[in-house]
């Protein structure tokens, strides 16, 4: 009996190690490859399921964040009963929101082996460093200045050196990775501190200067303001001063960017168009229009929403719909609006509680990444104007971040 039990424990420990390897592999390829992300996530899910024991299940059932994730997924699944969406879009929505369950699987192998989950974020950093090196190489013409296809991902031309992702996702990932570097070497040698801030700057430059999207601008300054509040709260005076300098330098450099004036003028025109309820002329006013329609139409079923996958159908039936989008199946690119329209106030409140609990937990958890609260706050603020669970890349990052929080906050349990 003892031999059989020991063999089972050895097999489970091996499965846990394979699952951790696969989750770290997913974190590494997430910044640049969809195909490899799906491959590693599938491999990780299979082996993580084998780590489910009485002890790990007991821990998961004690965690409020786990129950909130399960409740939100269950509500979206339950809303299939009253959804107005076509069946194909219902299936798509349920498939998208299965990522609410992934944090549990991400946490399982770390819970089983009782080891730190910080390596998940570390491998996400490594992946972003590979991306930023390739982006700089493309920008300076190392690949001939044109587009380059490398099997599982592509590298854009020198005028917009994207690596595997669209400009919105890549700009956001650069900022998230930069935040993880910020003050991670606090209290260590000056050389490591300077290296840390050097990498922070290196990751912040592409979304501010090399990419044409404006998400990087917004997230950079949102993260800066959040960081100032956090550092004052923690009395990290040196980091506060450095961050003020970086924000001022970033603002001055952004204004010096030759593309900046055109983008600001365009953004101003889009805002005026949105406020005048005129037909959208660009990206920002289009999104604003989708948000307004979502909020107005949600008042018809404010508590339970219109059901899973229903935003496109809600928009197509709305009297506010614009003729130029008549033939399109629209998504609002906002996780907040998606939750409100699909699941009503029930889903939106659950989502906000998940966000608040995640941010609060990141403040007191022991971690090598001291700027984790900055990252979590910036991530959920970003979900107001991007769909950070619905979208594939951002949704898998959501799973890694919350899985990391669940694994890091484990109590001391007896092995079993």
Which percentage of the chain shows pLDDT scores above 70?
A: 79
Maximum CA extent, the chain:
76
Which percentage of the chain shows pLDDT scores above 90?
A: 39
Instruction: Calculate mean pLDDT across residues 222-240.
Output: 76
- Predicted local distance difference test score (pLDDT) of residue 96: 93
Instruction: Calculate mean pLDDT across residues 326-347.
Output: 88
The model's confidence at residue 250, banded by pLDDT at 50, 70 and 90, is: low
Question: At residue 247, does pLDDT exceed 80?
Answer: no
Instruction: Calculate mean pLDDT across residues 355-380.
Output: 84
Claim: this prediction has a pTM higher than 0.85:
yes
Question: At residue 399, does pLDDT exceed 90?
Answer: yes
Question: At residue 214, does pLDDT exceed 50?
Answer: yes
Question: At residue 185, does pLDDT exceed 60?
Answer: no
Instruction: Calculate mean pLDDT across residues 384-411.
Output: 90
- Predicted local distance difference test score (pLDDT) of residue 172: 86
Instruction: Calculate mean pLDDT across residues 99-104.
Output: 95
- CA 108 to chain centroid, in Å, comes to 20
Question: At residue 234, does pLDDT exceed 80?
Answer: no
Instruction: Calculate mean pLDDT across residues 47-74.
Output: 93
The model's confidence at residue 187, banded by pLDDT at 50, 70 and 90, is: low
- pLDDT 10s digits, 253-286: 666 665 555 555 565 555 555 555 555 545 566 6
Beta-carbon contacts of residue 130 (< 8 Å; ≥ 6 apart): 28, 31, 32
- pLDDT 10s digits, 5-48: 554 667 888 999 999 999 999 999 999 999 999 999 999 999 99
Instruction: Calculate mean pLDDT across residues 191-220.
Output: 69
Question: At residue 415, does pLDDT exceed 50?
Answer: no
Question: At residue 372, does pLDDT exceed 80?
Answer: yes
- Predicted local distance difference test score (pLDDT) of residue 279: 55
Query: Can you give the residue ranges of every domain in the chain?
Result: 116-227
Distance CA(170)–CA(149), nearest Å, equals: 17
- Predicted local distance difference test score (pLDDT) of residue 354: 96
The model's confidence at residue 153, banded by pLDDT at 50, 70 and 90, is: confident
- pLDDT 10s digits, 287-331: 777 888 899 999 999 999 999 999 989 988 887 777 767 667 878
């Amino acid at each position: 009996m003892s031999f059989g039990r020991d063999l089972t424990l050895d097999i489970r420990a091996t499965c846990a190690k394979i699952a951790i390897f696969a989750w770290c592999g997913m974190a590494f390829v997430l910044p640049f490859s969809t195909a490899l992300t799906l491959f590693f996530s599938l491999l990780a899910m299979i082996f993580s399921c084998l780590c489910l024991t009485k002890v790990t299940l007991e821990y998961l059932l004690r965690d409020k964040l786990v129950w909130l994730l399960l409740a939100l997924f269950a509500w979206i699944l339950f809303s299939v009963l009253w959804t107005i969406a076509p069946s194909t879009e219902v299936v798509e929505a349920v498939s998208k929101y299965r990522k609410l369950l992934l944090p549990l699987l991400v946490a399982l192998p770390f819970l089983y082996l009782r080891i730190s989950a910080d390596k998940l974020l570390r491998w996400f950093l490594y992946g972003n460093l590979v991306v930023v090196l390739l982006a700089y190489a493309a920008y300076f013409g190392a690949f001939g200045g044109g587009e380059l296809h490398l099997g599982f991902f592509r590298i854009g031309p020198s005028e917009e050196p994207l690596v595997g992702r669209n400009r919105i996702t890549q700009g956001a990932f650069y900022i998230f990775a930069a935040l993880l570097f910020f003050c991670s070497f606090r209290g260590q040698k000056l050389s490591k501190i300077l290296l840390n801030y050097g990498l922070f700057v290196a990751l912040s430059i592409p979304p501010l200067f090399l990419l044409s999207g404006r998400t990087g601008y917004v997230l950079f300054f949102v993260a800066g303001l959040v960081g100032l509040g956090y550092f004052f709260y923690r009395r990290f005076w040196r980091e506060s001063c450095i961050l003020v300098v970086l924000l001022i330098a970033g603002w001055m450099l952004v204004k010096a960017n030759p593309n900046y004036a055109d983008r600001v003028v365009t953004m101003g025109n889009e805002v005026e168009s949105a406020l005048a309820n005129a037909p959208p002329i660009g990206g920002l006013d289009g999104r604003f229009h989708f948000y307004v329609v979502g909020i107005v139409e949600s008042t018809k079923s404010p508590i339970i929403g219109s059901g899973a996958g229903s935003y496109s159908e809600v928009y197509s039936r709305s009297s506010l719909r614009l003729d130029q989008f008549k033939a399109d199946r629209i998504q609002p690119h906002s996780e907040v609006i998606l939750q409100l329209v699909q699941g009503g106030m029930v889903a939106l409140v659950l989502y906000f509680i998940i966000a608040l609990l995640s941010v609060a937990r990141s403040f007191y958890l022991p971690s090598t990444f001291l700027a984790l609260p900055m990252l979590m706050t910036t991530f959920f603020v970003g979900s107001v104007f991007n769909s950070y669970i619905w979208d594939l890349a951002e949704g898998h990052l959501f799973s890694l971040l919350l899985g990391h929080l669940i694994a890091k906050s484990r109590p001391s349990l007896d092995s079993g």
